[in-house]
Structure 1
Amino acid sequence: MIEYVPIAAIDPEQVEHLLDRAFGADRHNRTAYRIRDGMAAIPELSFAAVEDGAMLGTIQCWPIRFAGDDGVDVPMVQLGPVAVDPARQQGGIGRALTAHALAAAEAAGLADVITLIGDPEYYQRFFGFDASRTAAWRVPGPVERHRLLARGPKVPEGAGMLGPRITAIA
């Protein structure tokens, strides 16, 4: 049976190895990494899927912010990466990890604005993310606009930049 445990219970080297296998060793150059540069994952929203002592997948969430061109500063959570051992993909582990992280965000009061870069059909169908309010957002690197997704009641619609959140989570 698969268990979902805090990612803090997993050896960080195991997590990094899985991320390399799932996304490639050059993953640190991706825009999602640049958005959260220098931030530590939010422990209470980051999990691993484990079965019989073997790690099958991970999800991490990060404190970021939207710096609006109008001066509005919006604390946000960036979801991802969601990584599943390539031998166990297509079995629902990634979806379960995402649901687990989103439920934890709700319970912690951190679900007002969650964003990610990912497959719009998948994340809209299962989790209600879309790109309807992100068109004017800027990010520190290339992005396919339709893959910059968000959900939550406080998603800003104006122009602004995504980047690391400087202040701690209250």
Structure 2
Amino acid sequence: MLEFVPITAVVPAAVEALLDRAFGRNRHSKTAYRLREGVGAIAHLSFAAVEGGELIGTIQCWPVEIAGDDGETAPMVMVGPVAVDPERQRAGLGKQLMHRALDAAHASGEDRAIMLVGDPEYYERFFGFTAERTARWRLPGPVEPRRLLARGSAVPAIAGMLGPRVTVAA
């Protein structure tokens, strides 16, 4: 039976092994990984799909922000990676994981500014992500501008650098 559980309920090494199978061992060199360096995933927005005790999919969400050239900063949630075991891909599990994360973001009020790097034809069609407000964003590495997508009423259409959102404890 397929179950969705908080990603914190899964052994981190199992998550890493799944990510390696889904994206390859060189995945850490991707720009998206630089956007989340030094921060942990947002636990209440990150999930695992488990079936028969086996991890078959994950989705993680991360705290990021854009530091605008005008001095403005805007917090956002970055979705990804969405990983599905290669033997289970193309069966809708990634879509289920996305809905779970987006529903959780909506329930917690964190859906006003969500971004990801991904296929615009897929993420716009099924989830409403577009590149309409991301044209002037810069990232700490290469990215195809058409793949830099966002959704939500508070997505900033400003020029600036996107990076991890590190919160400082008082």
Q: Give TM-score, length-normalised by structure 2.
A: 0.97
- Report how many aligned residue pairs link the two structures: 169
Tell whether 2:73 aligns with 1:63: no
Q: Match of 1:144? A: 144
Q: Distance in 2 between the 1:32 and 1:14 partners?
A: 20
Q: What are the superposed Cα offsets for residues 79-124 of structure 1, whole Å, 9 maximum, x if unpaired?
A: 0000000000000000000000000011111111000000001000
Aligned to 1:22: 22
Give the RMSD, CA atoms, in angstroms.
1.1
Task: Give structure 2 stretches of 5+ with no counterpart.
Answer: none
Write out aligned runs for 1:34-53 (5 A): 34-53=34-53
Q: For 1:131, what is the secondary structure of its paired residue?
A: coil
TM-score normalised by L of structure 1: 0.97
The answer to whether the aligner puts 1:111 opposite 2:111 as a matched pair is yes
Q: CA offsets, 1:110-169, max 9 Å, x none? A: 111000000001000110000011000000000000000000000111101100102169
Inter-partner Cα distance in structure 2 for 1:82 and 1:54: 17
- d(CA) in 2 for partners of 1:24, 1:74: 32
For residue 167 of structure 1, what is the amino acid of its counterpart?
T
Counterpart position of 1:165: 165
**Any stretches of 5+ residues in structure 1 without a counterpart?**
none
SS of the equivalent of 1:150 reads: strand
Instruction: Please tell me the residue identity of whatever aligns with 2:152.
Output: G
Runs of 4+, deviation exceeding 2 Å: none
Matches of 1:119 and 1:20 in 2, distance apart?
Answer: 20
What does residue range 74-113 of structure 1 map to in structure 2 within 5 Å? 74-113=74-113
SS of 1:140's partner is coil
Distance in 1, matches of 2:70 and 2:102, equals 29
Q: 1:60 and 1:79 mapped to 2: Cα distance?
A: 6
SS at match of 2:126: helix
Matched letter for residue 120 of structure 2:
P
Alpha-carbon distance in structure 2 between the residues aligned to 1:168 and 1:99: 30
